[in-house]
Structures are given as structure tokens and as C-alpha cells.
Structure 1
Amino acid sequence: MRGRAWPWFVYNHLTRGFMTYKVVTLLHNALAFPRLRPAVTPPGARVSLLVPARDEAHNLARTLPGLLAQGAEVIVLDDHSSDDTAAVAARLGARVLRGAPLPPGWTGKAWACQQLAGAATGELLVFTDADVFWHPGALGGLLREQAASGADLLSVWPRQDNRTLGERLITPLVEVTLLVGLPFAFLRLPSPRAGAANGQVMAFRRAPYEALGGHAAVRGELLEDVQFAYRLRAAGGRQSLALGQRCVGVRMYRSYPASVRGLGKSLLAVHGGHRARLPLTLGLQFALYTLPWLLRVPGWRWLRLASVLERPLVNLISGRRRGADLAEGLLGPLMPLLMLPAYVRALRRRAVWKGRAYRQ
């Protein structure tokens, strides 16, 4: 083989191998991934729905009524908000806690969740973000799935409600990463690292949660959800995932800049804290999604097809079936370029979130 042909030979085989893995994973998850279905909450269920909230008055006004309608204990912790978070939550009928000062070495969310757990009375502790919508029957569906899986930690991926073009550019990649990158069967492996979680909805059985020390186990982690899953599995706990579907939804960000800030704060942690991995990942994405549209590289036709079909297929599996959801596939070739600002933010030594700065 001529020397000039070697780079394209390697490129062809790497891209084919990686795309084959993603296709197989997507098909497996389409069949195996649990979906929540609305159900009646069993009588006598002792559940606490716990909401850490910092400057979330605008979200709570829309989401808290649905949470309160689940028929369980609802506690909102006001984490030193500069808006009317506490007043809105109290007016709607939730129990409101005033957050204590943030101790050194803690992230704001972990400290808020630790305080919420201390105030909760339920045997099942469900931590849920202020921007998450709980629809009728959602808690019953969650309890049924938790019982079926036997999980000490059940984490739910809410169905995204992206409405504007800015929201659609990169926010849906949260679901793409899950459904084409993580085979559900991976959770059955014995390794503690064979786990995943989503901090938007995390339902813990109280005893395993307290045995780990609660959120103190992940007090300084920006990606506390995944780290919690690792620690729980290492301690012998059982962990599972589910898609929110018609039960649980979320509108994460309202614009492209907000998406960049939100995803940028987590990217380094997703890469294990290794900055050198960031350009490698971005380069691989460019080779898979963008380069085939710029050059006639080996396999360019099927790579082009895969780049525009990936998002629509993921959206169908996650329950997003509107025309605009399916049209997101046209953004596939632009994905590495759209993610570039988030990767740049992830290279910084400090991450800023909710008005607080953290070293990373």
C-alpha cells in the first residue's frame, strides 16, 4: 500500500468501526432501554420529592404545580437566590428550606441536596431539578420501574422540550450521547465504572444513600450524578436508568449561549478530568460528522447519511416525534463546530455556574 494511502486506510477503518458501534448501540437501546409509563402511585408510598433551587422562580412557577400534584412530600431548598424562588415555592404550596452557607470544598448543588435529604421523611429520596416537568402519573411510573429494576438508584432522562432553534443546536446531544454511546446492557457489568446517571432526576432508596454518606460522597464533584453512580456500584448497590417519555420532561436551556455554558461546565468531567482528551474527542467528531461533507473521503456517502440520521433516530426513541425534532438531523454535520465553544470553556481552569466559580 502506498504511503499516501495509509492515512485514509486508517481513517476508513476507524470511522467504520466507530459508526458500527453507534448503530449497534442505538438498535440495542431502542429495544432494551426502559421507558416510564404513567401509573397510579401505590397507597402508603413514602416518597420525598426534593428540589435544589437557586434563582429558579421562573422555572418553579411552571414546573412545581405538576410536582405537587404527584401526591408526595415536596421540599424546595432556596440556595441563596437573588430572585423570588422561595416566595414562589411557598405560594404554590411546597415546603421551603432556607439554605445554609456553602461549606468549603462543596459544590452548591451537592450541598443543597445534602440539606434536602436531612429534612426529608420519605424512604425514597427523589432529587429533581427545578426545570423538570412531572406529568400526571409520573411518580407512579417511576415507582413501578424502580420496583421492576430493583435499583437502589434509578436515574431518569427527561424528554427534552426544545422549542427554539438556539435550544436545538446542541442541547439534544445530551440524549444522543446516552443512546448511541452507552449500551443499556453495559449497566449489567460488574465494574463500578459501568454506570451512568442524570442529576435531573435521581431516585435513591434511603438506606443505600445514607450508607454512602449522602451527597457528602460527591461534595466537590461538578459531575456529581455520574460519580454517585460509580460510588454506589463500588459499594455493591444496584443502579438503573430509564427514559422519561410522557412522564417526565425538561426544558434545559433557552438559547445557544445558555447551552454552551451548561454543557461546557460538564465536558471536562465527562472526559475524566483529562484536558488532553478534549481535542481528541472533538477531532474524532469532526472526522465523523463534518469532514465527509467537505471532502470525498473513504466511505463518505454512508458517513454523510449517518451524520443526518443519527439525531432523528435518537429523537424517535426518546419520544420526540414532531417535525422540527426530526429536522434536527440536518444539524449533524455542523455538530463539531457548534460544540467548539463548549469545548473551549471546558479547557478553562475555572467553571462558573449559578454565580459560583469552581476549580476544574
Structure 2
Amino acid sequence: MARLGSAVAAFHLVKTAGLLANLHAFPVLGQGANSFLKTSFLVPARDEAKNLPRTLLGLLKQPAAEILVLDDQSADDTAEIVRSLAKADSRLRLLEGSPPPAGWIGKNWACHQLAEQATGDLLAFVDADVSMRPGALSAIWAQIGAQHADVFSVFPRQHAGTLGERMLVPLIDEVLLAFLPHALLDLPIPAAAVANGQVLAFTRRAYRTLGGHQAVAGEIVEDLALARLTRRAGLKLGLALGGDLVRARMYDGYAATVRGIGKSIRSAHADSDPLLVASALGNLAAYTLPWLRLRHGAAWQLAAALSLAQRVLTNAKTGRASYAEAALVPFIAPAALPIYRLGLRRTARWKGREYR
């Protein structure tokens, strides 16, 4: 166990070093741009009546040329909400989506249909759970210019309402900031390319070069697939945190969080059962075991302390300021086990559709 303790402590030292590097290096949306890009906001929406009013009101405050919402065969009032808001602003338009063809993931098909109708020079796909404050689009333009990006993605500041959300949702930011030093974005390594489909923007030329969402038609984790295509095509990928300007609540409650992350975790582990099992066990060893071994040496104590520091550093960088969440760290790995169980089923179910 002493060797395991040393290995776990070494892992946390490396992870903490990555976080410290990104505290300064990773961009955050802020100052707006003086330039203007003709922008199309493209929103795929399936049963999003609860989220859409906030999302659309935020988008309507941005200087976009158009806001297209595709109703992906919703069973709720999604379409009616768009029609109602569109009466006050001609930039907002509702599109009626058709069923996804064989081989297409529903969201990818919805995004493809949106892109076919868009007229902007910048195609900005925005999920229906994203909220933008005034100045967000101008700040995105500024970062696209500063990073010379052909494809640009924003990681929103995540709101987590319930205890389960607060344990699991911040892991997205923690993994990003710990294991992807921003400098790696300039290296020709496809594996180091990431993006967030919540806000993912393409110049029209880049979107065509990549083949659009048609090139990733069957990919559940389409944002990661598009990021890697961007790298392979020799195009420039840019990233930023949303800061005060772009926020989101991905899931409502622990069960929804498990389902949401569970639908993509298998793809994120190369469709490999051994990798999923190893990842689950590794998390237990790295985040829970140190607290059970606190009296068994300095290595375990160091690992436990650093695991707390990592959540504090992550929340400080993203601006969530929920530092008390660090107390949840020992329970994160057990709370994530149902996510891995979903991944091992080899099928993913989301919003009434099942994918293999």
C-alpha cells in the first residue's frame, strides 16, 4: 500500500501543477472586441421549454445577425415559446426539425439542419441550457481574434443546484484545467484537442472544411470529435472559460447528471470496458482511498490535501466561488459509479432516444 500511496500522491502533484499553470494561462471571456462578425446563433432544442426563455432572452441581447432555433420534435411547449418571443424580434426564427436519418445522433442532425439555414460568417452553436449576459458575443469575437481561431469553444460557468450536481458537474472544468495546459492547443496533437458543445463556434470556411456535423454524424461526443477533426485539418482551435458572461446549468439533479454524463462516458473511454473499469477504480484510489488511509503515511495525507486544493483552485478559476464543495471530494468517486455502470451497458439513452 505504501507504493500505491506514493503513486496517488504523485498523480495529485502532477494534476495540481496543471491547475496552477492554467490559473494564469487559460483565457476567460472579458473585454469585448471592436470588430464585428456576422454571427448566426444556432440552437438545437428538444423538450427545452423550461430552459429556452432564459437562453433566448440572453441571446437576443447580443448583436447577432440571426438566432435560429430548431425544434427537434419536442413534446412540450418549445416551439410555442420560440414563436412567442419571435414576435418581438425578427432575428429569431423557428425551424421545424425532421427525424434523424439512420446513422445520425439526434443533436448532430439538428445542428446540421441549422447550419443549412444559417447565413452568418460565424456559426455559433449554443445549447438550450446556456445563458449569456450582455457583452458575451463581443467577448467571443475578441477571443477568436486574439487566438486566431477557426473553431472556438466556450466552457460556461456551471451552476450546480443540488448536492449531486455539485459533486459531479465541476469535474468537467477540473479535468479540462488540470490535464490540458492551454499551451498544448498550439501543438499538432489531436488527442490534446477538446471542445464543449454547449458553445461551439466555427467560421463558415472552417465548418465547410471539416464537413460540418455530417462528418461526425454518429458521434455521441460530437464536440470532442469536431475538435480532433479541427486539429487534423490544420485549423486553429481556441478555448475560453465563460466567466461572468456565459453560464449554464447542464442538469437538474443527481439522476439527470448521471444520465447526462453517462450517455457520453463510454465514448470518452474509447468504447472500452477495461478502460471504464480502470477509470472507476482509479478514481476510488485517487479521491476516496486517501481519506481512509490518512493515518498510514505522509503520501496519503498529501494526496488528500491536494485533492481538496484542486477543487478550490478549479472553482477559483471558473469563478464559481463554491469553496465549501471541497468537502465533497471524498464522496465524488462513489457518486460517479452509476455513471460508469451506464457506460458499461453499451447503450446510451437521452431525451427519448437510444444510441449504441
Report if aligned partners of 2:197, 2:223 keep a CA contact under 8 Å in 1.
Answer: yes
Equivalent in the alignment of 1:302:
302
Q: Which moved more, 1:261-270 or 1:160-169?
A: 160-169
| Residues in 2 aligned to 1:212 and 1:66: alpha-carbon distance in whole angstroms | 29
- Whole-Å separation in 2 of the counterparts to 1:275 and 1:156: 30
Cα-to-partner distance string for 1:182-211 (whole Å, 9 max, x where unaligned): 221221211222200000000101111112
Does 1:78 pair with 2:71? yes
1:54-110 deviation per Cα after TM superposition (whole angstroms, max 9, x unaligned): 000110012211101102110000000001111101211220000022100000010
| Deviation readout 1:289-339 (Å, 9 max, x if unpaired) | 111211234412111212222212100100112xxx111100101111010
Q: Which of 50, 63, 69 is residue 55 of structure 2 equivalent to? A: 63
Q: Which amino acid aligns with 2:69?
A: V
Partners in 2 of 1:214 and 1:349 — Cα distance?
Answer: 26
Letter in 2 for 1:50: L
The one-letter code sitting in structure 2 at the alignment partner of 1:134 is: M
Which of 27, 46, 59 is the aligned partner of 1:54? Answer: 46
1:152-187 Cα shifts (integer Å, max 9, x gaps): 111100001122323212111111111112221221
Amino acid aligned to 1:87: E
Residue of structure 2 equivalent to 1:3: none
SS in 1 for 2:192: coil
Alpha-carbon distance between aligned partners in 2 of 1:79 and 1:310, rounded to the nearest angstrom? 39
1:204-247 deviations in Å (ceiling 9; x for gaps): 01111112221001000000000101111111111021000011
1:326 to 319, 323, 330: 323
Aligned to 1:342: 339
> Are 2:24 and 1:27 aligned?
no
Structure 2 contact 13–306 (Cα < 8 Å) conserved: no
Offset of residue 272 of structure 1: 1.7
- Which one-letter code corresponds to 1:144 in the other structure? A
Deviations 1:25-68 (Å, cap 9, x if unpaired)? 0011101001101526745x310000000000110012211101
State the identity as a percent. Answer: 48
Aligned to 1:252, which of 247, 250, 265? 250
Q: Does the CA-based 8 Å contact 2:5-2:300 persist in structure 1?
A: no
Alignment gaps of 5+ in structure 2? 87-91
Aligned partner of residue 185 in structure 1, secondary structure = helix
Q: Which amino acid aligns with 2:345?
A: R
**1:241 has 2:239 as partner:** yes
Aligned length: 348
Contact 2:161–2:253, Cα closer than 8 Å, also in 1: no
Aligned mates of 2:211, 2:152 — CA distance in 1: 18
Distance 1:348 1:297 in 2: 37
Letter of the structure 2 residue corresponding to residue 348 of structure 1: R
Query: Superposition RMSD on alpha carbons, in Å?
Result: 1.3
Distance 1:257 1:129, change over 3 A: same
2:218 is aligned with 1:220:
yes
Q: Secondary structure at the match of 1:203?
A: strand
Structure 1 segments (4+ residues) deviating >6 Å: none
Residue identity matched to 1:304: A
Task: Identify which of structures 1 and 2 has the higher relative contact order when contacts are C-alpha pairs closer than 8 Å and 6+ apart.
Answer: 2
Query: 234-243 or 266-275, which moves further after superposition?
Result: 266-275
The answer (yes or no) to whether the contact 2:152–2:202 under 8 Å persists in 1 is yes
Distance in structure 2 (CA, Å) of the matches to 1:193 and 1:293: 32
In the superposition, the TM-score normalised over structure 1's length comes to 0.94
- The residue type equivalent to 1:306 in the other structure is L
Partner of residue 352 from structure 1, selected from 329, 344, 349: 349
Q: Are the counterparts in 2 of residues 41 and 137 from structure 1 also a CA contact under 8 Å? A: no
Q: How does 1:145-160 map to 2 (within 5 A)?
A: 145-160=143-158
1:240 partner letter? G
2:146 maps to a residue whose letter is A
Measured in 1, the distance between the counterparts of 2:302 and 2:2 equals 15
8 Å CA contact 1:166, 1:254 repeated in 2: no
Is 1:310–1:332's contact at 8 Å kept on the other side of the alignment? no
1:15 equivalent to 2:31? Answer no
2-structure distance, mates of 1:24, 1:198 = 23
Q: Does 1:199 pair with 2:197?
A: yes
2:73 partner SS:
coil
CA distance 1:261–1:190, change in 2 (3 Å): same
